[in-house]
Amino acid sequence: MRSFKFFWLSAVAALVLCASPAFSQQAAQHPGSIARFTDNLSRAGLGSAEGSMVQLDPAQLCCEGELPWGMYFNKATPYIAVKIPPIDAPLPVFLLRPDEAVVVIGVTPPEAEYFSYQLYLGERTFPADVENFFSPHRPLLASVGDAVNLRTVKTIGPDPFNRPVVFVFTPDRDTDARVRAALRSAGYPDAIINTVVVPAPMLNLGLDPKKNDLLLIIHRIRMAGDPDGAVQEYVRAFSGKQPPLRVFRITPSGSGSSRPFGTPALRIRGTGRTEMDLTPGLNQLRQAILDSNGGYNTTEYVTRPIGYDGFDYIQRGANALGDTRDALYLGAGGLPEFDVNDPLTLREDEFLIAYGPKHVATGKAIYTNINVYASDPQLPVGSVFYDKFEGSADAYVPGADRLYVYKIKRHCNGEPYCLELTPPPYQPCTPWCGTSSDCPPFALGDDTRLGVIWRNYVEPQTNVGAAFTEVLYDRLIKFSPKER
């Protein structure tokens, strides 16, 4: 089996930080001066090294053989990751001293339905375990606390879009204070500075790649319609000479102080208000769907909450595959990493119907979508967002304006309210094999095991994902022709 770059530790022996060259401020992007900021850091005994923000597509990395799986990547939603030298790996993880900081300076995205910035525990060292393939280094990709999202971000202006912003990711109170002083002196007001605590009590911080935790920071964006292409341009700019966000690693001289932050309190999921009053309508819709497709055999799948909280996955030493507390995830079919193991495949003459509440209409989310995956190796093969659900239930139950119905097929042939499954666009897509000529390319087939994930982002009243006990679960039925 190919040795993947994902197992970063073998490639990292030490960190070598170099001083960042001064560069000119980008006009209209932020109120302060980055050059003055880095000068202030130097005078205060804080070294700085510049990193970058890079677009991250786990599905592409999987197809190219750089990752062993596609991480159930949310199709059509860009991910931007912080990349800090010197680690060079498919996932841009980094080590952090207990007194260091990562500072991100720039502007928020143009008007978008959702954006956030999330800290992750990327990989942890565990005691040797012969049953653990990754022993002793295990990928976790688990969220560490709450994300900063468009509803909680500190910035200035009437809305959070295209606004100046600074993030300070640090475990140390003194480092945070010193960085903030350098920012203020460089013209950055406190009103736009967001401190994201790296919780030292629950992490193994340090620069020893053989024993310390590897971290990851992800910036998510949901583009909505993006009619003028502004968000797409924002994402593309990260690969240009004037990226929307700049990144710095800040290192105190000497051993630095040791005044760690505690682990911050979490936002509380739930309002006490549920969707359960929709149960009779959902059951009526189910029966109408079955009656309308009476010529088929049916298989109904059990939907379960998945990826609920990174703290749970960290304690169990399990891979959360990039969760965020901003979301409530539901899953059905074959999602073995989340202990959802119902066999689900789809022939050309079969189809699925997903149906359920419109969680945006009920106030339980600001956006939702359905993603279909090839379970091995977790590659996205179809995605649809809630804005396509309008009127989808009318053919079954007229007036069911808070419910939706969506068909999933290998080929829709123009059928409305139908999600057509397609393999990833990266060709040749040869997961696990890279460029090996002996590896057949990935293709959707009659025996491809599938899983379905529903994502429901941010309950408006709580600014975090909804409580699973308060939502009525989406459902899934498979229809297969009766044997003649």
Confirm whether 271 is domain-assigned: no
Mean pLDDT score, 289-314:
95
Q: Which domain does 84 fall in, by range?
A: 8-252
With cut-offs at 50, 70 and 90, classify the pLDDT of residue 442.
confident
Confirm whether 218 is domain-assigned: yes
Give dist(CA 95, CA 152) in Å, integer: 27
* 203, 330: one domain: no
* 20, 154: one domain: yes
Q: Which residues, in sequence order, are bridge partners of residue 453? A: 331, 371
Considering the entire predicted model, what is its pTM? Answer: 0.89
Mean pLDDT score, 233-237:
91
Confirm whether 162 is domain-assigned: yes
User: Which residues 6+ apart lie within 8 Å of 350 measured at CB?
Assistant: 409, 478, 479, 480, 481
* 367, 292: one domain: yes
**Weakest-pLDDT range from 68-72, 207-211, 430-434:** 430-434
For residues 70, 73, 78, 79, the Cα torsion angle rounded to the nearest 10 degrees is -70
**Weakest-pLDDT range from 391-395, 421-425, 473-477:** 421-425
pLDDT value at 401 more than 60 = yes
**Weakest-pLDDT range from 143-157, 249-263, 387-401:** 249-263
* 105, 192: one domain: yes
With cut-offs at 50, 70 and 90, classify the pLDDT of residue 416.
very high
pLDDT value, residue 10: 40
Distance from the Cα of residue 212 to its chain's centroid: 23
CATH number at residue 394: 2.60.120
Mean pLDDT score, 183-188:
96
* 219, 309: one domain: no
Confirm whether 70 is domain-assigned: yes
* 169, 201: one domain: yes
Confirm whether 261 is domain-assigned: no
pLDDT value, residue 376: 86
pLDDT value, residue 19: 31
Mean pLDDT score, 309-331:
95
Show which of 252, 268, 294 is a domain's final residue.
Answer: 252
Q: What single letter denotes the amino acid at residue 255?
A: S
Confirm whether 267 is domain-assigned: no
Beta strand ranges found along 126-233 (DSSP E)? 137-143, 148-149, 164-170, 193-197, 214-222
Confirm whether 257 is domain-assigned: no
Confirm whether 54 is domain-assigned: yes
Phi and psi angles of residue 195, each rounded to the nearest 5 degrees, phi first:
-90, 125
How many domains are contained in the chain?
Answer: 2
* 237, 329: one domain: no
pLDDT value at 164 more than 70 = yes
Tokens 């992007």 sit on residue: 29
pLDDT value at 56 more than 80 = yes
Q: What single letter denotes the amino acid at residue 154?
A: K
* 247, 367: one domain: no
Mean pLDDT score, 204-223:
91
Alpha helices in 28-167 (DSSP H): 34-43, 58-63
**Weakest-pLDDT range from 172-186, 241-255, 400-414:** 241-255
* 245, 372: one domain: no
* 178, 326: one domain: no
* 227, 370: one domain: no
pLDDT value, residue 40: 95
Mean pLDDT score, 266-282:
97
Give dist(CA 64, CA 125) in Å, integer: 26
With cut-offs at 50, 70 and 90, classify the pLDDT of residue 256.
low
* 246, 350: one domain: no
**Weakest-pLDDT range from 62-66, 81-85, 169-173:** 62-66
pLDDT value, residue 436: 59
Mean pLDDT score, 235-258:
88
